[in-house]
Amino acid sequence: MKNNLEGKRILVTGGTGSLGKTLVRRLLTGEMGRPEKITVFSRDEAKQHFMRLEYLHKTAATDDVIYENSLDVLNFRIGDVRDPSSLLSAMRDVDVVFHAAALKQVPSCEYFPYEAVLTNIIGAENVVKAIRENDLPIERVVGISTDKACKPINVMGMTKALQERILIEGNRDCSKTNITCVRYGNVIASRGSIVPLFVEQVKNNQPLTVTLPEMTRFLLSLDRAVDTVFAAIGSGKRGETYIPKVPAARITDVAKCLMGDKDLEIVYTGIRPGEKIHEIMVSEEECFRTVERDGYYVILPVLPELRDDMEAQNTLENEYSSKDDNISVEELRTLFAGASDEIARFLN
């Protein structure tokens, strides 16, 4: 597993996002093998510019080892997954694609649903179409999904659920390519997540805004999200979806944890358009084709012809939901202490 990406040419769509940046940083360490080339593909030239500066202006000794050859290995390409021609151009001469490009803000997708369709659904179809219609010799594709794709009630989740199905079904027509997905919950330090908002409110001694007292979420660090992606690369079979085993907590407890010794008010604002009270990463329908592998839940393909001889072992008897087994405020403090560098990087 450690050398799965040795000498590989890698494309990261949406590579300037929170997950994309952490993925690129980890790829450059060589922990999965030293890639020949990493291409960040996105439509935002400003984010690419600042990301390029970030990687070229490192000064710490350890960073010199990691980033010294990034001039040769790391490069950037402007394009949009909605545009088949620009995506095809980027996918030529590539061995591995990490498909992270997405519209992921729940309220934005509610107000602009067709925009979410174009990026999350059509973008995934364009990835599969490029491989299928041009016989591209791509070895692996990993699609980055979300717990909101499981029993979706909002536009973002609905479009990501279809993205998963499009990528998984793509294995039928792209027989030389291994296409898998990963699905995970609320990333602690990602853009638009609740933790950076709470940290900012605490810094400014403002009330902490929570939608409902009973609301819960899965919580994982950006590095844990990348671990899941690497697990899918290391041992994922065609059409599978990898799910990390991560803690879940009440959002009210997250707010109490982050305010520390301060006695700040918690204001309940009501549920937002398209928002769930609890998140689910494996539904009760999926649990009967879910196995456990290397510390992850793995959902076998919904299409029986993609399962080969894989047999579900009834790892889960019920859905895997954030409403169950919530961790305490003390446990949250430990979790956030481990992710403090990520939160600091995000806020800076």
Q: How many angstroms separate the CA atoms of 254 and 257, rounded?
A: 5
Q: What is the dihedral of CA 140, 146, 151, 152, to 10 degrees?
A: -120
Our measurement of the distance from residue 236's CA atom to the centroid of its chain's CA atoms, rounded to an integer in Å, reads: 16
Contact 208, 77 (CB under 8 A): no
Contact 116, 281 (CB under 8 A): no
Catalytic one of 104, 129, 148, 276: 148
Q: Is 264 helix (H, G, I), strand (E, B) or coil?
A: coil
Q: How many angstroms separate the CA atoms of 194 and 187, rounded?
A: 9
Contact 33, 8 (CB under 8 A): yes
Q: How many angstroms separate the CA atoms of 11 and 36, rounded?
A: 11
Q: Phi/psi of residue 31, each to 5°?
A: -65, -25
Q: How many angstroms separate the CA atoms of 137 and 131, rounded?
A: 8
Residue from 119, 122, 127, 80 nearest 99 by CA? 127
Q: Could you tell me whether strands 216-220 and 248-250 are parallel, antiparallel, or unpaired per DSSP bridges?
A: antiparallel
Q: How many CA atoms lie within 13 A of 225 on its CB side?
A: 29
Contact 150, 286 (CB under 8 A): yes
Q: For residue 320, what are its two tokens?
A: 């895997």
The helix, strand and coil proportions of the chain, stated in percent and rounded to the nearest 5, come to: 45, 20, 35
Told to judge if 148 belongs to the known catalytic residues of this protein, a careful annotator would answer: yes
Contact 243, 183 (CB under 8 A): yes
- Cα distances from 26 to residues 51, 91, 156, 226, 243, in angstroms, run 14, 21, 27, 8, 20
Active site residues: 148
